[in-house]
Chain A
Amino acid sequence: MPSSPTFTATIEKIIERTPDTRSFFLRVANGRKLSFVPGQFLSFLLPAGGETLTRAYTIASLPGEEDCFEICLNQVDGGPGSSYLFSRKEADVLCFTGPWGNFVLDQPTDAEYIFIADRVGVVPFRPMIARLLTAGGHHTARLLYAAPQAGDLLYTDEWQRWEGQYAYFSFRPLIAECEPEEYSIEKGLLPYVEQHFVKGVRQYSRRFYICGIGRPVLLLRDLLRGAGYERQAVKYEKW
């Protein structure tokens, strides 16, 4: 068991966001509020298959939503942690530690912020972008969001609403138009990043935040750092 304090939370509501992705709204026991920095995650202790698994899930809630917070995850084929969570029902109880993690916004600068999301890896960007847009200072921010199909995109209404509301925020979905099994970042995201931020680039003041699943995240990191962006300017979280 972890040595850090463990909390319990009740599942208040479950909503299906896409056929394989659900949001769980959790209320911490004893009226505790969850104070977190946008981008941080919770570490869930899941009693699956006779063992206690440790699985990280990012806090999807907007800053200030501390009473009843959200995690959003997809079911991974044969994955014991996500399958356990997908078998939970409203009123069930979950144990977790945290919040944890350093994949958070730096002190805002005048730099342009580029958020690069591969599929469900968009989750940390919801609170991060909300924080950036409401922080004052009119930070230019772009969200590049890749998925196999348009129907896989999460929180689309919100990205579009923010785009209408904040002139300095733009949302660019990059749809591969393929089945999930055939999906790769080469089908849209990687060429887009290459064309807009690598080829012929002359200004290196941008700050990149990349989040997604597995090796593609490292591929994007290497592409950008290889193009001359500073190490600290290319932050990433690989799930």
Chain B
Amino acid sequence: MAKLHISFENGNPEQVVEFDPSQAPFHHDGEPGSILDILLGHGVELEHACGGNCACTTCHVIVTQGMAHLTENEEEEDDMLDKAPGLVSTSRLGCQAVMAEGEVKIRIPRHTINQQV
């Protein structure tokens, strides 16, 4: 079993999801086995305005532990992350970062919004 710890900058209580990576996909949005897929499949909300297609930054998460357990960023994710508010060196897009093992801790930023108007 793999473990994903989620904390929220908006003060919501922390959550832990334990899951069997071989069961992915858990939902129908984002890359199968991605942080977004795992969260939605276990009842934890994460904004995903473009439907998990790497075309917005609303699924931005900050990885605080276990980056090595996630697939590496592709150019497409980096291009999109450039536009994320509150970007840090361990930022990832929840719909693109796939977790296949181990224990990962993430923080969901308060501002995931990239509405421009």
Which residues of A approach B to under 8 Å, CB–CB? 1-4, 35-37, 40-41, 43, 51, 53-56, 81, 97-104, 218, 221, 231, 236-239
B114 within 8 A of A: yes
CA distance A1 to B48 in the complex (A): 10
* Residues from chain B with Cβ under 8 Å of A102 in the complex: 56-57, 80, 83, 114, 116
Residue of B nearest to A217 (CB): B76
With A56-B53, A101-B50, A231-B79 as given contacts, are A37 and B117 in contact (CB-CB < 8 Å)?
Answer: yes
B34 within 8 A of A: no
In the complex, 6 of the A-B residue pairs with CB atoms within 8 angstroms, ordered by the A residue number, are A2-B47, A43-B49, A56-B50, A99-B116, A218-B76, A238-B53
Interface secondary structure of B, over-half rule: loop
B14 within 8 A of A: no
* Residues from chain A with Cβ under 8 Å of B51 in the complex: 43, 53-56, 81
B109, chain A: closest CB distance, angstroms: 12
Known: A40-B117, A99-B116, A102-B56. 7 other contacts (CB 8 A): A4-B49, A40-B116, A41-B50, A54-B50, A54-B52, A102-B80, A237-B55
The A/B interface has a contact count, at CB < 8 Å, of: 80
With A2-B49, A51-B28, A54-B49 as given contacts, are A35 and B117 in contact (CB-CB < 8 Å)?
Answer: yes
Which residues between 39 and 84 of chain B lie within 8 Å of chain A, taking CB atoms? 45, 47-58, 75-76, 79-80, 83
Find out whether the CB atom of A54 lies under 8 angstroms from the CB atom of B48. yes
Find out whether the CB atom of A3 lies under 8 angstroms from the CB atom of B45. yes
Greatest chain A CB density within 10 A among B45, B83, B115 is at B115
Contact with A along B79-115 (1 / 0, CB 8 A): 1100100000000000000000000000000000111
CA distance A43 to B45 in the complex (A): 16
With A53-B28, A100-B49, A238-B53 as given contacts, are A4 and B83 in contact (CB-CB < 8 Å)?
Answer: no
* Residues from chain B with Cβ under 8 Å of A37 in the complex: 116-117
* Residues from chain A with Cβ under 8 Å of B116 in the complex: 37, 40, 99, 101-102, 104
- Nearest 10 Cβ contacts at the A-B interface: A43-B49, A100-B49, A54-B51, A102-B83, A56-B50, A35-B117, A37-B116, A100-B56, A55-B51, A2-B47
